[in-house]
């Protein structure tokens, strides 16, 4: 059976060119980039070349890129490190209710340590409410952290507008751009972003590597004590092969973003339209246009998402449920809750995330299987039609 992978928001396969570039750095070029001899210098040159590629991908200077173990670490570091570095100025942080757990949990921890955090609401599409943002900023606000694009429902925030507000109010702006890299053009200088988190494995790079971009002149508490790597801010021997792979992945992902996104969006729109018209009691989550080109989040009324996931899996199709980042747990998605989705629909939500290599015939097979499986599941569903009655109004965009 040909398997179909539609869970690219969870992780992606490594690109063969990326892997090929990494290989020599596992064995032949094994020096420690911090060493002064030729072995070290050769590794160091590769690390700096990769740093330059990543910087180019988001329009910053290489000296503003700090390698981390991924976006989780970058988010932890950015929020905690900036909150403490600017604590003399104020103790108020603003974020949203739909952030990744690595942002939300860091904020919750900071609350325990005496910081004040405002979790902004989002509208039914998942957009942060700018009027509320303006309203809650006060003289103690030091940091706004809002993700560029949501990993569950694909909503792309109006990052420029948020950055403008932050700048006008003299507040730092951090964005978790993990899902946005390669999907939309990001230029941190043009957009006025002070800090940005990213990860390699979401863009066909290796797992375990990411970066924090930090605008020059921004102070931050160091993340790890030890050696003087990453300008003495994040200690630990630099992982040369992962860094090299990350550099190549960013280079490839940020090349031809517009045509790639256009092509992928067409397949995405076809998928959405077919599902919504062929299967009744369905609802698209997120915004129909301002969404990640590869994201399709659909709620199926009178269906248990977990059952659907397992039956699709048996048909060789890999997807994730609404509780994406907490999969395994049955806790409902904080994102779907924040957009005000009917709880009976939250349960029946599936996230499909496509890739550049997803084909139309794969999508056709998925639609066919969905129709068949949902028919079966609805026959035995404990959720009634009345319970999902509001679905039509929810779906109208
Ligand atoms: C995957 C993801 C993360 C976590 O990235 P890791 O590199 O796996 O730690 C953070 N934020 C968003 C939006 C993500 O999709």
CB atoms within 10 A of CB 27: 8
Pair 201, 312 in one domain: no
- Mean pLDDT confidence for 127-147: 97
Distance between CA atoms of 63 and 282, rounded to whole angstroms? Answer: 48
DSSP 291: B
What is the rounded average pLDDT for all residues in the chain?
94
Pair 211, 321 in one domain: no
Give 132's strand partners.
none
The protein residue whose alpha carbon is closest to atom 10 in ligand 1 is: 71
Comparing CA positions, the residue from 318, 255, 308 lying closest to residue 6 is 318
Distance between CA atoms of 119 and 111, rounded to whole angstroms? Answer: 12
- Mean pLDDT confidence for 235-245: 97
- Token look-up 């100025």 returns 89
pLDDT at site 370: 98
Q: Please report the atom of ligand 1 found closest to the CA of residue 147.
A: 13
pLDDT in tens, 1-23: 789 999 999 999 999 999 999 99
- In the reported structure, the alpha carbon of residue 310 is separated from the centroid of ligand 1 by a whole-number distance in angstroms of 24
Where are any strands of DSSP class E within 65-209?
65-68, 92-96, 116-120, 141-145, 172-176, 195-199
Pair 180, 231 in one domain: yes
Instruction: Write out the two tokens for 87.
Output: 């604590």
CB atoms within 10 A of CB 109: 14
Domain boundary among 201, 233, 253: 253
pLDDT in tens, 255-308: 999 999 999 999 999 999 999 999 999 999 999 999 999 999 999 999 999 999
Residues in contact with ligand 1 by the CB-under-6-Å rule are: 70-72, 100, 102, 147, 151, 176, 178-179, 199, 202, 210
Instruction: Write out the two tokens for 370.
Output: 């969905």
- In the reported structure, the alpha carbon of residue 157 is separated from the centroid of ligand 1 by a whole-number distance in angstroms of 17
Pair 308, 166 in one domain: no
| Stretch (H or E) spanning 264 | helix 257-278
Mutate to test the pocket of ligand 1, among 54, 102, 174, 334 (most ligand atoms within 8 A of CB): 102
Domain boundary among 253, 283, 306: 253
Radius of gyration of the CA atoms of the chain, in A: 22
Q: Please report the atom of ligand 1 found closest to the CA of residue 74.
A: 9
Any residues with CB less than 8 A from the CB of 237 and at least 6 apart, and which? 32, 33, 34, 227, 229
Q: Please report the atom of ligand 1 found closest to the CA of residue 11.
A: 1
Give 317's strand partners.
4
pLDDT at site 388: 73
% pLDDT > 90, the chain: 91
| Domain harbouring 364, CATH code | 3.90.1150.10
Q: Domain residues for 328?
A: 4-11+257-395
Pair 144, 281 in one domain: no
- In the reported structure, the alpha carbon of residue 148 is separated from the centroid of ligand 1 by a whole-number distance in angstroms of 12
In terms of phi and psi (left: phi > 0; alpha: psi -120 to 50; beta: otherwise), the region of 123 is beta
- In the reported structure, the alpha carbon of residue 60 is separated from the centroid of ligand 1 by a whole-number distance in angstroms of 21
Pair 200, 272 in one domain: no
Pair 108, 162 in one domain: yes
Asked if residue 397 has pLDDT above 60, the reply is: no
Any residues with CB less than 8 A from the CB of 341 and at least 6 apart, and which? 283, 285, 299, 349, 394
Asked if residue 104 has pLDDT above 70, the reply is: yes
Q: Please report the atom of ligand 1 found closest to the CA of residue 199.
A: 7
Asked if residue 189 has pLDDT above 70, the reply is: yes
The protein residue whose alpha carbon is closest to atom 14 in ligand 1 is: 178
% pLDDT > 70, the chain: 95
Distance between CA atoms of 373 and 378, rounded to whole angstroms? Answer: 9
Domain boundary among 223, 253, 283: 253
DSSP 289: S
Confirm if 240 and 29 have CB atoms less than 8 A apart.
yes
Q: Which residue has the higher pLDDT, 322 or 50?
A: 50
The protein residue whose alpha carbon is closest to atom 9 in ligand 1 is: 72
Q: Please report the atom of ligand 1 found closest to the CA of residue 209.
A: 7
The protein residue whose alpha carbon is closest to atom 15 in ligand 1 is: 151
pLDDT at site 386: 73
Pair 234, 103 in one domain: yes
Pair 237, 367 in one domain: no
pLDDT at site 387: 73
Pair 299, 203 in one domain: no
Burial of 314 (0-12, 13-18, 19+ CB in 10 A): exposed
Pair 174, 81 in one domain: yes
pLDDT in tens, 312-357: 999 999 999 975 444 455 578 999 999 999 988 999 999 999 999 9
- Token look-up 């030091």 returns 142
pLDDT at site 50: 98
Pair 57, 24 in one domain: yes
pLDDT at site 337: 95
- In the reported structure, the alpha carbon of residue 210 is separated from the centroid of ligand 1 by a whole-number distance in angstroms of 9
Mutate to test the pocket of ligand 1, among 7, 72, 145, 200 (most ligand atoms within 8 A of CB): 72
3-state secondary structure of 297: strand
Confirm if 243 and 9 have CB atoms less than 8 A apart.
no
pLDDT in tens, 23-46: 999 999 999 999 999 999 999 999
Number of domains in the chain: 2
What is the pairing mode between strands 320-321 and 349-353?
antiparallel
Confidence class for position 122, pLDDT limits 50, 70, 90: very high
- In the reported structure, the alpha carbon of residue 352 is separated from the centroid of ligand 1 by a whole-number distance in angstroms of 17
What is the pairing mode between strands 295-300 and 317-318?
unpaired
| Domain harbouring 90, CATH code | 3.40.640.10
- Dihedral over Cα of 53, 198, 313, 298: its sign: negative
Instruction: Write out the two tokens for 281.
Output: 């009691």
Where are any strands of DSSP class E within the chain?
4-5, 65-68, 92-96, 116-120, 141-145, 172-176, 195-199, 210-214, 282-284, 295-300, 317-318, 320-321, 349-353
Q: Tell me which residues are annotated as active site.
A: 325
pLDDT in tens, 368-395: 999 999 999 999 877 777 777 656 544 4
pLDDT at site 325: 46
Mutate to test the pocket of ligand 1, among 76, 98, 100, 212 (most ligand atoms within 8 A of CB): 100
């Amino acid at each position: 059976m040909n398997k179909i992978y539609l869970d690219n928001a969870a992780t992606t396969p490594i690109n063969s060119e990326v892997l090929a570039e990494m290989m020599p750095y596992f064995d032949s070029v094994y020096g420690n980039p911090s060493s002064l001899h030729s072995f070290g210098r050769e590794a160091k040159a590769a690390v700096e070349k990769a740093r330059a590629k990543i910087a180019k991908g988001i329009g910053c200077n290489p000296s503003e890129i700090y390698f981390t173990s991924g976006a989780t670490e970058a988010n932890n570091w950015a929020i905690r490190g900036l909150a403490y570095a600017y604590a003399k100025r104020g103790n108020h942080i603003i974020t949203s209710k739909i952030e990744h757990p690595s942002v939300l949990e860091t904020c919750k921890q900071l609350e325990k340590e005496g910081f004040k955090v405002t979790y902004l609401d989002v509208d039914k599409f998942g957009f942060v409410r700018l009027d509320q943002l303006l309203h809650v900023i006060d003289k103690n606000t030091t940091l706004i952290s809002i993700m560029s694009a949501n990993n569950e429902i694909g909503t792309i925030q109006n990052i420029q507008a948020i950055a403008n507000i932050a700048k006008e109010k003299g507040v730092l702006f951090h964005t978790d751009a993990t899902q946005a890299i390669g999907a939309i053009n990001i230029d941190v200088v043009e957009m006025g972003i002070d800090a940005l988190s990213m990860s390699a494995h979401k863009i066909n790079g290796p797992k375990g590597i990411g970066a924090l971009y930090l605008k020059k002149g921004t102070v931050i508490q160091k993340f790890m004590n030890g050696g003087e790597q990453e300008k003495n801010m994040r200690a630990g021997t630099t992982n040369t092969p992962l860094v090299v792979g990350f550099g190549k992945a960013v280079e490839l992902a940020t090349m031809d973003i517009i045509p790639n996104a256009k092509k992928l969006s067409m397949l995405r729109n076809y998928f959405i339209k077919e599902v919504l018209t062929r299967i009744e009691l369905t609802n698209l989550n997120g915004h129909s246009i301002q969404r990640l080109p590869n994201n399709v989040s659909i709620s199926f009324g009178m269906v248990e998402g977990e059952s659907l996931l397992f039956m699709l899996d048996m048909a060789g199709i890999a997807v994730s449920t609404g509780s994406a980042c907490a999969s395994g747990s049955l806790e409902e998605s904080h994102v779907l809750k924040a957009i005000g989705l009917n709880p009976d629909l939250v349960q029946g939500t599936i996230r499909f995330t496509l890739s550049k290599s997803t084909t139309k015939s794969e999508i056709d097979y998925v639609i066919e299987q969905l129709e068949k499986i949902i028919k079966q599941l609805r026959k035995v569903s404990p959720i009634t039609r009345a319970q999902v009655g509001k679905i039509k109004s929810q779906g109208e965009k």
